[in-house]
Amino acid sequence: IMVCDECEATANNLFFNYCACCDRRIYPHEYHFEMANGDIVCPDCALTQTRVCDRCGRRFYSSEMRRNNNIWLCQDCNINKGE
């Protein structure tokens, strides 16, 4: 999608997103990942900066995950691991 510089600021939310990690522009037709908190990340950052919780299956930033008995858990699942 081509957008002039003047319209780019208002077009951002309509035509594309930016990766929450590296600020790369992500167009609607490109594959991307949505984080549990709603952030959008590009595939490269999804592989290097995020993990999927082995219990609930949602994607979180690696810094928000905890390893417990060789499985990765988000903060919510780590707190409720006994349930």
- Cβ-defined contacts of 1-7 (< 8 Å, 24+): 1/27
> Averaged over 9-30, what is the pLDDT?
78
- State residue 62's pLDDT score: 94
Is the pLDDT reported for residue 5 higher than 90? no
pLDDT tens for each residue of 22-81? 999 888 788 889 999 999 999 999 999 999 999 999 999 999 999 988 899 999 998 876
- Identify the pLDDT of residue 44: 94
CA–CA distance, 13 with 64 (Å, rounded to integer): 27
DSSP E strands: which ranges in 12-56?
A: 17-18, 25-26, 33-34, 40-41, 50-52
Place of tokens 């077009």: 11
